[in-house]
Amino acid sequence: MSQTIAILPGDGIGPEIVAEAKKVLHALKSAGLTIELDEALVGGAAIDATGKPLPDDTLALAKAADAVLLGAVGGPKWEPLDIAIRPEKGLLGLRAGLNLFANLRPAILYPELANASTLKADVVADLDILIVRELTGGIYFGQPRGIRTNGKGEQEGFNTLIYSESEIERIARVGFESAQKRQKRLCSIDKANVLEATEFWRNVVTRVGKDYPEVELSHMYVDNAAMQLVRNPKQFDVMVTTNMFGDILSDLASMLTGSIGMLPSASLDANNKGMYEPIHGSAPDIAGQNKANPLATILSVAMMLRYSLNQAKFADLIEAAVKQVLANGLRTSDIQESGQKTVSTVEMGDAVVVALQASL
Ligand code: NAD
């Protein structure tokens, strides 16, 4: 039976990079992958057409699909709008509407790009870590929250860090299952020495770990984890953590590679249905110039095939094709080093398709 992919190009460079990812999907379709692509508007493009960042039709299409591929949303054109109807609300609406509670962000450094990092090449060469971030709970959503006047007549701001056992258990399972597919090491990040909510997190992760005896579980405080990510990032395989700690650590980890245009991400629900997108934004400064690096979006397609569509073999082939074009010396401007020829968005996408077709 055919699987449906909802394609949401969005704004800025979104349509350009998604066009290259679609070429990859069409190449796989020609090689026997049974997929249908359905396209819809989201973000600023949807505001311009319908007045809403997430039109009902788009959410319905995303819900009905087996997976969603998103480009990026936002841009200066829509910044003056009220926060409730800005493009970014489209993204949050998709995460909430699809119950995407697990955010997976790999930070992979291809050997050819070792000099793109601000860290020493030997610290990051061959880096391959995966951060699993809880996405729909914790302090970003906990109640009560707000700004109030306290008993002494002074204003105070407050938020609530709260995690239920089931919320921790389901994200822990994503962490363990991800580790099972990799080097079988999971590090759970908390602040159990200070925060009861994360002491509870540690207890639940430890209990769930008994179901995964082949995965080596360790625990680390978040302050130490931030230090270790910069000192010796290759000690990690998979890290699982709360919404806020994951927000901070995943940005830190992604920048170890120094190449924002290279990193994909996945946000998954309880059934491994997911939304896949590059970690970068809509890059308005280079939009429409055929300069954007499409590889993060193409690698997001590989994650989609692996996690939602159960097509790990095709995922491997895409990742191998990306490695091949990098080894062949192709660079978009964001990953270019002096002396190297720069290729356009379209040229990079075409090169990946050629390398992929050679292996199909
Ligand atoms: P950005 O990621 O769009 O751009 C940061 C810098 O990286 C820019 O110089 C840009 O040119 C460069 N860059 C990003 N992606 C690139 C690519 N694929 N190839 C080459 N260079 C690339 O972040 P920003 O400038 O802070 O935000 C721009 C807009 O994107 C804002 O409206 C923001 O709200 C939005 N945004 C959207 C998402 C999303 O859709 N998930 C994420 C972050 C930011």
Catalytic residues: 140, 191, 223, 247, 251
pLDDT at 94: 96
User: What is the spatial distance between Cα 293 and Cα 57, in angstroms, rounded to a whole number?
Assistant: 29
Strand runs labelled E in 122-245 = 128-134, 146-149, 155-158, 185-190, 216-221, 238-241
Q: Is the peptide bond before 144 cis (omega within 30 degrees of 0)?
A: yes
Segments of the chain assigned to CATH 3.40.718.10: 1-101+269-360, 107-261
Mean pLDDT of the chain: 95
Residues facing 102 on adjacent strands = 134, 268
Render the burial of 112-139: b for 16+ CB within 10 Å, e for the rest.
bbbebbebeeebbbebebbbbbbbbbbb
Q: In what order do the strands lie in the sheet with 216-221?
A: 35-39, 3-10, 67-72, 274-278, 264-268, 102-108, 128-134, 238-241, 185-190, 216-221
Q: Is the distance from CB of 216 to CB of 180 less than 8 angstroms? A: no
The amino acid occupying position 80 is P
pLDDT at 340: 76
* Ligand 1 site-directed mutation target among 41, 262, 280, 346, most atoms within 8 Å of CB: 280
The answer, yes or no, to whether residue 338 has pLDDT greater than 80, is no
CATH 3.40.718.10, applies to 1-101+269-360:
yes
Q: Is the distance from CB of 346 to CB of 290 less than 8 angstroms? A: yes
Whether 283 lines ligand 1, by a CB cut-off of 6 Å, is yes
The answer, yes or no, to whether residue 69 has pLDDT greater than 90, is yes
Whether 246 lines ligand 1, by a CB cut-off of 6 Å, is no
Atom of ligand 1 nearest to the CA of 70: 40
Whether 73 lines ligand 1, by a CB cut-off of 6 Å, is yes
User: What is the spatial distance between Cα 106 and Cα 264, in angstroms, rounded to a whole number?
Assistant: 7
Q: Is 88 helix (H, G, I), strand (E, B) or coil?
A: helix
Strands 274-278 and 67-72: parallel
- The answer for 93, left when phi > 0, alpha when psi is -120 to 50, beta otherwise, is alpha
Residues facing 4 on adjacent strands = 36
Residues facing 70 on adjacent strands = 8
The answer, yes or no, to whether residue 147 has pLDDT greater than 90, is yes
Least confident range from 2-16, 113-127, 139-153, 190-204: namely 113-127
CATH 3.90.870.10, applies to 107-261:
no
Whether 233 lines ligand 1, by a CB cut-off of 6 Å, is no
Q: What is the pLDDT averaged over residues 226-235?
A: 97
Least confident range from 65-74, 113-122, 171-180, 223-232: namely 113-122
Using alpha carbons, select from 256, 262, 220, 214 the residue that is nearest to residue 241.
220
pTM for the whole structure:
0.92
Rounded to a whole number of angstroms, the distance between the first and last alpha carbons of the chain is: 21
- Residue of minimum CA distance from atom 20 in ligand 1: 292
Q: Is 126 helix (H, G, I), strand (E, B) or coil?
A: coil
Q: Is the distance from CB of 94 to CB of 40 less than 8 angstroms? A: no
The answer, yes or no, to whether residue 232 has pLDDT greater than 90, is yes
Confidence band for 350, pLDDT divided at 50, 70 and 90: very high
The answer, yes or no, to whether residue 68 has pLDDT greater than 80, is yes
